[in-house]
Amino acid sequence: MNIAWANGPIAAGVKLTADGYGTAVHITGTVLPPFPCKINNDQASPIVDFGSDVRTDLIDGKTYDTKVLPVKVTCDGDPGAVMQFSLKGTATDFDSAALKTNIDGLGIKIYNGADAMDINSWGNINYDEPLNLTVVPVKSKLANLQGGDFSTTGTLIMRIE
């Protein structure tokens, strides 16, 4: 949205009203059609459950206990532009591609195929190819993880450039 002010001296275009002095404000913008693509057909958010047997001594951030993140992008025709996606959330302080969990030193790393996704960064996707998202637990090299339930949340966002 653009807000345009008239050029000229400050007093130009000023009008005295019953409420005081006023000036015209010109506001412009662009209305866009609805976004042509949907994530999981606008259904409930996907949930990944690691269960109750994640062994802290085996967590490697690559292959141990990898789970599929069930995300499907569908579009009504070709969006006609580059599509991008990002996973918004709080990254761990030890790995920018891992969502911070409620347990210090433990994160959940997100992969798109073989590539780790940096949290809060944008990546290109092809609208007609399925996303291949997987998640895996990762731990800080300095962590001495204790047992307990863990959780985290992120938001997958798509945009057209």
Average pLDDT of span 11-16: 49
Calculate the alpha carbon distances from 18 to 11, 12, 22, 130 in Å.
17, 19, 10, 61
Is the pLDDT at 39 greater than 80? The verdict is: no
Give me the residue spans of the domains in the chain.
39-160
Looking at domain 39-160, its CATH class is mainly beta
Q: Is the pTM of this model over 0.85?
A: no
Read out DSSP for 16-30? EETTEEE---EEE--
pLDDT tens for each residue of 82-136: 788 888 999 999 999 999 999 999 999 999 888 898 999 998 887 777 778 889 9
